[in-house]
Amino acid sequence: MPHLLLIPPDTRPPTLELPVQLAQMTGATVATPPADALPDFFTPADTAKLGTWLRSEANGAEALIVCLETLCLGGMIPARRVSDSLEVALERLQTLREVKAAHPSLHIYAFGVVVRVAHDNDPHEEKPYYGEWGRELRAYSTAFDRHARHGAGEKEALEAAKAALPADILNDWLGTRERNRALHLEALNLLQEGVLTHLCVTLDDTSEYGLAAYDRRMLEARADELGVWAAFDTYAGADEVPCVLLARALRRGLAPARAFVRYSGTLGAGVGLIYEDRPAGELLRAHLRAAGCVIAESVQDADFVLAVNTAGKRQGNLQPDFATVDTPDRHLPAFVDDLLADLAAGRKVVLADIAYPNGAEKRLWKLLERVPLHRLAGYSAWNTAGNTLGSAVAFGALAGLGQDHAKQTEAIFSRLVDDALYQAFTRPEVRGALHQPSPFDLGEQRPAAESKLQEIITPRIWALWEREFAQTGLALEVGQPHLAWPRLFTGVFPLRVHQKADA
């Protein structure tokens, strides 16, 4: 039975609980650091405790999946905020070299996240000054990259963007980016030396132009120099990478899992995305590669079917969007017909819904009432398209290794509850019951928000279970729903699925 270690980017259910569930459904075990060693929202992890834990747990583990930001800078969000020096971060990174030397058979799958240029003015997930200067920093990011790519014709715009910012704020923000980029470049050296088995450096909430794209090109150039592309990936994503690398680790030594992709529209691969720098098809190819999967030429040759619901033309934020999402460029009833046909043929089907970011498409959810959801091999519809696709790919890659049906059902049902019931339906209702809540900090309204959350979603959870899973021979236990952080963005839905005593 494989035993793995996981140091996650944070403690939200999709980044910590889901990878563990996916491993458990294959019969593997996963150890994670104690809660007091991990980050809590923007409070950094205890990096000294993490290092101690890793050294003590490495013996007997087959693989380590590690977020570089957590190990070296206290977490994915703290890494954007803390003032730790590059020298300190690199010293913490050496823990991986030390552990590999002591345990040569340990396979280390590492991932880092290029500092994002947030699309909103969040003063908690970014530096505090981002709340005031976010718009100007985004403008500088775009102008810098346009100038880097297109030359003198963009110089005036760059100078104007720079002049709009206080020098100390711009210098501090750029200094954080440079430190984190240097950490990622050093990780590439560890990959080239053989300390790391695989490395992903992903771009969180990115776009076509910006400093993240500039950083990506620097990483690509260095990877070219080192000749490490066989074990390196850089693409748009972030929170889903623990699941992606878990799939790669658990399939080590096996033939690549083959995915046959069905889009909800014939042009789905070319659909534009809000938080990514590439169209849907290219993003999916990147996530498949990172997980060690390949695209199947025919459904008969596939290990699993990846059914991807895209927008008609481009992702939209607000549902319904008849201008760019629900257009004649796709045909959802036919898409659902194909799902039913694949399930009837006994194929493993994973559904990824990326028509809108941050939750399932309500129209598709309605049409899925004629689909036996308990027969899906995976489901994902959360946050960005990259978050959804990476999680869905991991479900598919591991579906053929499944040994624990209860754990697989628990993982799938957890995503149905979070991505559909909460993100698409319940979260807007909770927001509507509050008084002008801040998207960044609920403050004194958090208790009221959690009370309303519990009131609305608990009966919905049970109704979905009774409709779709009650006849599976499995039993459900539901804990008290609450919020991961003092904001509505992430809910926590404690669920446990197990065999019925008389099943």
CATH of the domain at 393: 3.40.50
Query: What share of the chain has pLDDT > 70, as a percent?
Result: 100
Are 451 and 417 within 8 A, CB to CB? no
The values of phi and psi at residue 306, to 5°, are: -105, 105
Are 455 and 478 within 8 A, CB to CB? no
Does a structural domain hold residue 362?
Answer: yes
Using the predicted structure, report yes or no on whether residue 38 has a pLDDT greater than 80. yes
In this prediction, residue 46 has a pLDDT band, given cuts at 50, 70 and 90, of very high
How far apart CA 390 and CA 239 sit, in angstroms, is 9
Does a structural domain hold residue 143?
Answer: no
One domain, residues 334 and 454: no
One domain, residues 453 and 396: no
Which of 202, 232, 250 is at the close of a domain? 250
- Give start and end residues of each alpha helix (H) in 108-240: 130-150, 155-163, 167-193, 211-226
Using the predicted structure, report yes or no on whether residue 22 has a pLDDT greater than 60. yes
Using the predicted structure, report yes or no on whether residue 107 has a pLDDT greater than 70. yes
One domain, residues 291 and 316: yes
Helix (H, G, I), strand (E, B) or coil at 457: helix
Helix (H, G, I), strand (E, B) or coil at 73: helix
CA 373, 374, 378, 381 torsion-angle sign: positive
Does a structural domain hold residue 412?
Answer: no
Helix (H, G, I), strand (E, B) or coil at 499: strand
Rg (CA), the chain: 22
One domain, residues 105 and 169: yes
Query: Taking all residues of the chain, what is their mean pLDDT, rounded to a whole number?
Result: 97
**How does DSSP classify residue 298?**
S
One domain, residues 190 and 242: yes
One domain, residues 245 and 382: no
Which pLDDT does position 501 carry in this prediction?
A: 79
In this prediction, residue 482 has a pLDDT band, given cuts at 50, 70 and 90, of very high
One domain, residues 177 and 100: yes
How far apart CA 218 and CA 198 sit, in angstroms, is 18
Using the predicted structure, report yes or no on whether residue 503 has a pLDDT greater than 70. no
Does a structural domain hold residue 148?
Answer: no
The predicted model gives 66-94 an average pLDDT of 98
Are 169 and 133 within 8 A, CB to CB? yes
In this prediction, residue 276 has a pLDDT band, given cuts at 50, 70 and 90, of very high
Which pLDDT does position 1 carry in this prediction?
A: 83
Q: Which helix (H) or strand (E) holds 30?
A: strand 29-31
One domain, residues 10 and 58: yes
Using the predicted structure, report yes or no on whether residue 12 has a pLDDT greater than 60. yes
One domain, residues 236 and 267: no
Using the predicted structure, report yes or no on whether residue 442 has a pLDDT greater than 90. yes
Q: Which domain holds residue 91?
A: 3-132+165-250
One domain, residues 201 and 82: yes
How far apart CA 112 and CA 114 sit, in angstroms, is 7
Place of tokens 């519990």: 454
Give 103's contacts (C-beta < 8 A, 6+ positions apart). 58, 59, 61
Does a structural domain hold residue 486?
Answer: yes
Token pair listed for 176: 């954080």
One domain, residues 262 and 243: no
Does a structural domain hold residue 414?
Answer: no
pLDDT tens per residue across span 144-195:
999 999 999 999 999 999 999 999 999 999 999 999 999 999 999 999 999 9
One domain, residues 122 and 90: yes
> Pick from 187, 252, 181, 182: which is nearest to 226 by CA?
187
Q: Which helix (H) or strand (E) holds 366?
A: helix 362-367
pTM for the predicted model, two decimal places: 0.97
Place of tokens 């080192």: 226
Strands (E), 240-342: 258-263, 294-295, 304-309
Look at the chain and report how many structural domains it folds into. Answer: 3
Q: Is 253 left (phi over 0), alpha (psi -120 to 50) or beta?
A: left
pLDDT tens per residue across span 357-404:
999 999 999 999 999 999 999 999 999 999 999 999 999 999 999 899
